[in-house]
Amino acid sequence: MKTSVIGFPRIGRNRELKFTSEKYFAGKIGEAELLTEGRAQRAFNIKVQKDSGIDLISSNDFSFYDNVLDTAFLFNVIPERYKELGLSVIDTYFAAARGYQGDKGNVKALAMKKWFNTNYHYIVPEIDDSTKIALTGTKPVDEYLEAKELGADTKVLLIGPFTFLKLCRFTGEKGISDFKDALTNEYIALIGKLEEKGCKLVQFDEPYLVRDLDKEDIALFEEIYNKILGKKGSVKVLLQTYFGDIRDIYEKIISLDFDLIGIDLVEGRKSLDLIRKYGFPEDKILVAGLINGKNIWRNDYSKTYEKLEILKGSVSEDRIIVGTSCSLLHVPYTLGSETKLTEDYKKHFSFAEEKLTELKEIASGDEAALNANKEIFKNRIDVLDNDVKERVNAIKKEDYTRLPSFEEREKIQKERLGLPLFPTTTIGSFPQTDDVRKNRKDYRSGLITKEQYIGFNEKKIAECIRLQEELGLDVLVHGEFERNDMVEYFGEHLSGYVFTEKAWVLSYGTRCVKPPIIWGDVSRKEAITVRWSVFAQSCTNKPVKGMLTGPVTILNWSFPREDISLHESTLQIALAIRDEVLDLEKNGIKIIQIDEAALREKLPLRKSDWYSEYLDWAIPAFRLVHSGVAPDTQIHTHMCYSEFTDIIPAIDSMDADVITFEASRSDLLILDALKENNFKTEVGPGVYDIHSPRVPSVEELVSVLTKIRTKTEDKKLWVNPDCGLKTRGITETKASLNNLVEAAKIIRGQ
């Protein structure tokens, strides 16, 4: 059988694109050097896949920031405020992605949201009534020709028009129906240009098809693709779906004139049943998504061959291509960079490069490879802990409920804390400067003693507290200088985790994370944050927040085991974090923030599955973490860069005292949902975007707060940035926070 890869990691084996892009943002290199690095990464990716014998390699899976934003620029879906800056094409692109503040103007970035159920974030395209959709870009054609010169006749990856339209934000009176024809015609024009250059296969990525679809959605999809498929010429079209099954539209899709159809057989719970029930047309090729593109565990060939045998009951073997379940963007680049993991661990893992080998071995039916794979699954080192399992089994119903009621706690806390109206705070982290990173690295490398490491961090914490006092913030944070990452740091202090050196995964733009791996049962080995929080509180009379990452986010931003339920793993983590919460409280910390930034990440894409498969245990797991604290201990949580408007009741039932949200990039749209649902929890909608280098003015922040006040009770409103300040520079951080405090004072004065 042949093999296919939906897409490949673009950041580089050693994050080369990240570092080059950030040099460009800092003005240290020019556009030519940035473009050269982009070509180098594309060429390297093509070579790796070609050398691995992959048959269907994608071009146009590369991006300098985001593929959805690339699609918007390809078809001239560019708000005028960015064009009016008069910048070069690539700088206009980065202005839309990151915001711009300079001699050409001052504009915010476009909104950023989670890419379906992953930790990747896409830039939300924005269409207003004056938008003129037109094929103005050449990126897919250019990158196809570039790959062809390297000896790879690739399939060209395109974000499909249906998914693109469904992800767009329409800011005027017009909607999808007003733009669908123009967009469809421009996709047809693009196929024509690709055909002229010799392209034989185009891959339309349509992940939106795995969501709940109504009759209008299905009619829209059919209308768009009947037009495209009717004018595709000699180009073959692969409809690629992923992140679930296409139960609402499977019958319609197999009746349309697609040449190949890609179906997810990993996350698609009903995919096999759909194929068996409705069959698969003899004039089409099935690209079977059998290799997990989102997790790092080695594929169990025996189970995969079982699926293949079932498939062969409906589809002849010569019409099956073995593929990835989704793009490999969501896994690290290669195990080859891991020098510290022993073979006992490494043999159980598979990153992007290793998944190419798995594809070839499965497609070839290699008997020796199958036997070797069986041996790996027979010999696994486990870290099992009966005490952890017994503790989980002993959880009682009342352990999920905090007493007294929210309203009673609110009165107690206001009297105890004595905070002003519109209290100001930050989300947690402060800039991670070079000296902070060097201190951690030197300590890990044994170049400095533990005492030197602690002494440095305490000095930075004291400086951070002093800075916040000078700025006039009301609730302070310790800055998190000891932390490399909000999940990896906690994983390092929990049993049951395994860590990598260079297993970086792209989160957004150039931002990468290094998820830890859940290897066994999880428990807390020791106090994790108490030392730093207690020291910070000793430096000030103002309240300092204890800063923790919540159990759902720790799970969602780790690579979880595939043989333990997500529910059980989350409860294990929740009990560990509960111990930390109670220790912080015992040591005098009266405000504790438990971040659940990734709450939505594993929320099923179909609403019918939300509660039965996720929220019914994820929300109680958060309540388990804080249910044991006293009424006068204030519990905060934080969430960012996801669509929360449709799960507001569930968020309110987390029973936190204060919730801070990302809101600045989405024009505070979440506030309407909070108001409609009579949201009881105190709320801090982010008043400025920390993922952009621009500094908001006092006037801008006053305007934002004035708008917020029309939708939120004054007594419930907190003032804060929309996320942590780890990636920002110290100068812009000071300026932004100074303006934030001044804006809060002005609003208080009013």
Q: Where are the alpha helices (DSSP H) in 566-684?
A: 566-586, 610, 616-626, 648-652, 670-676
Tokens of 208: 């939106």
Give the strand pairing for 2-4 and 545-549: unpaired
CA–CA separation, 737 and 446 (whole Å): 36
The β-bridge partners of 323 are 4, 289
DSSP state of 26: T
Three-state DSSP at 126 gives strand
SS (H, E, C) 233-271: CCCEEEEECCCCCCCCCHHHHHHCCCCEEEEECCCCCCH
Catalytic residue among 478, 626, 636, 691: 691
Tokens of 271: 């995919």
Torsion of the alpha carbons at 24, 27, 30 and 35, rounded to the nearest 10: 10
510, 12 contact by CB (below 8 A): no
CA–CA separation, 221 and 550 (whole Å): 39
DSSP labels, 175-236: -HHHHHHHHHHHHHHHHHHHHHTT--EEEEE-GGGGS---HHHHHHHHHHHHHHHHT-TT-E
CA–CA separation, 530 and 101 (whole Å): 39
Number of alpha carbons in the 13 Å side-chain half-sphere of residue 696: 30
Tokens of 716: 């419930």
Has 691 been annotated as catalytic?
A: yes
Task: Return the residue matching tokens 């780890």.
Answer: 726
Of 326, 55, 315, 61, which Cα lies nearest the Cα of 200?
Answer: 55
Tokens of 316: 């002849």
* Non-local CB neighbours of 392 within 8 Å, separated by 6+ positions: 568, 571, 572, 575
* Non-local CB neighbours of 538 within 8 Å, separated by 6+ positions: none
DSSP labels, 383-394: ---HHHHHHHHT
Three-state DSSP at 45 gives helix
Torsion of the alpha carbons at 508, 177, 664 and 514, rounded to the nearest 10: -20
CA–CA separation, 506 and 517 (whole Å): 16
- Cis bond before residue 404 (omega within 30° of 0): yes
DSSP labels, 497-527: EE--SS--EEEETTEEE---EEEEEEEE-S-
- Indicate which residues carry an active-site annotation: 691
